[in-house]
Amino acid sequence: MSRPQISDEQRRARLVTRHLLTPATRAAGPEQVADALLALHATDPASVYLSVAARTAAPSVADLERALYEDHTLLRMLCMRRTMFVVPRALAPVVDASTARAVAARERRNLLKDLGAQLGHDERRLIATEQEVLTALAELGEATAAQLADAVPVLKAQLVMAPGKPYESRPRITSRVLSVLAAEGRIRRGRPLGTWASSQYRWIVAEPHPELPADEAKTELAARYLTVFGPATTEDLKWWTGWTLTDTRKALARAGAVEADLAHGPGHAMPEHLEAPAAPEPAAALLPALDPTPMGWRHRDWYLDPAHAPELFDNNGNIGPTVWWDGRIVGGWVQRPDGEIVTHLLVTRGVGREAKDAIAAEAARLAAFFGDIRIRPSFRTPLERRLTGS
C-alpha cells in the first residue's frame, strides 16, 4: 500500500488552523493557546506574552499573569533542548519525564564538576546548600536570586570561567544552583520585577507533580508533537525534543505514527490527520522572536523561503519577529523606541492589497497590546538591526 502524500499547501493549511493564526480560530485565553501549541518558548519573557496575544481574541496581560502566578495552570520549565518553555500544568509530568530529567541530570553533573574542581565542594555539600535555599525560600515565600544569596551566603562563592581568556568572568554560583533546582522542578520562576517584559524575576517553591516512566512520557510527547506540528520528519521531532535518533524512532513507533510522503521526503503523521484539511481563509499574523510556530520544525522550507532565513535568524539559530500571511513567513517586524510597529516584507509575490491591509491591522493590534511597554531584543537579527537602524 502506498504511503499518503501530503503537500506543502496542506501542511500550511493545518498550521494556520492548529496554531490559531486566523481571527476565526483565536482562543479565549492563554491556557487554550498553550495547549494548542504544546509549549511556549520562554527564553525571552516577552515572547510568552506576545505569542499568546497574537492568538487570543482579546489579549490580556492580567489573564496570562493569573495563569502563571495565581492559578498555576501554566508552568515554566527548563526542558526540550535545555530551553525554557511555558507548558500546560497537565502536560508538565510528561515534559519532565521525557526531556527535563535528562537536562537536569546534565546540569547537576556540570555544576558538581565545577564546584569540585574550583571550590572543593562535593555532592553532599551541594545537597546541603540546596536544602538551605529551599528552607529560606519557604520562609520568604518568594525571593530574588540576590535575596537568596543574602539568606544563604555560600551562594556568593565565585567560579572562574574561561580563565586567562579576554572574556574571563567570575560569576557567583547563585544562578547555577538555582538553575539546577529549577531544572529538577523544585523551584520555579515567579512574578517578574517590573513589567511583564522584564527579564528579572523572583523564585518560588514549586509544587510536586506525578512522576511518569520515561518511555511512556516520550511516547505521549511524540504523539502530542505530531498532533500540533505534524506531519513532520523524524529529524524535526529529534531536533525539537533534543532526543537521540534511537529514542525518537522508538517514540514515533510507540505513538502509532504512520509514514507519509512530504514534498522533500518521508515524514510522520497521526492516523487521524491524514485527510486533506479544508483551506482556511487567508490571514495575517505578527509573531514574536522564538515563537513556537517557526521554531517547531528543523526543516522550514515549506513555510519559509531559505533565501530569507539569514535575515530572520541570528548566528545561533534564534528566529526574530516574523510576519505571516496565509501560512507562510513573508517578512519581519520590530518595535521602535517610540513604540511604532514597523513591518518589512521579504516576499512580494502573493502578498497583495488584502494581505498588506491585514498586516497593517495586526501591527495596530500589536501596538495597542504593547501600550507603553518597550521591549529590547535578547538577540539581534540582521533584519531587526536594519529596521531599528542599529
Closest Cα partner for 368 from 344, 331, 342, 341? 341
Residues in the chain: 390
Domains and CATH numbers, the chain: 91-205 (1.10.10), 284-388 (no CATH)
Q: What is the dihedral of CA 365, 47, 242, 98, to 10 degrees?
A: -90
Please tell me the pTM assigned to this model: 0.94
**151 touches 140 (CB < 8 A):** yes
Is the link from the previous residue into 192 a cis peptide, with omega within 30 of 0?
Answer: no
Closest Cα partner for 94 from 198, 227, 209, 253? 209
Q: What is the pLDDT along the chain (390 residues), one digit of tens a residue?
A: 578 999 999 999 999 999 999 999 999 999 999 999 999 999 898 999 999 999 999 999 999 999 999 999 999 999 999 999 999 999 999 999 999 999 999 999 999 999 999 999 999 999 999 999 999 999 999 999 999 999 999 999 999 988 888 888 999 999 999 999 999 999 999 999 989 999 889 999 998 888 999 999 999 999 999 999 999 999 999 999 999 999 999 999 999 999 999 998 899 999 988 888 888 999 999 999 999 999 999 999 999 999 999 999 998 899 999 999 999 999 999 999 999 999 999 998 889 999 999 999 999 999 999 999 999 878 889 999 999 876
Q: What is the dihedral of CA 248, 234, 16, 341, to 10 degrees?
A: 80
Residue 99 DSSP label: I
CA distance 49 to 71: 17
Which residues is 141 bridged to in the sheet? Answer: none
For residue 196, the SS3 value is coil
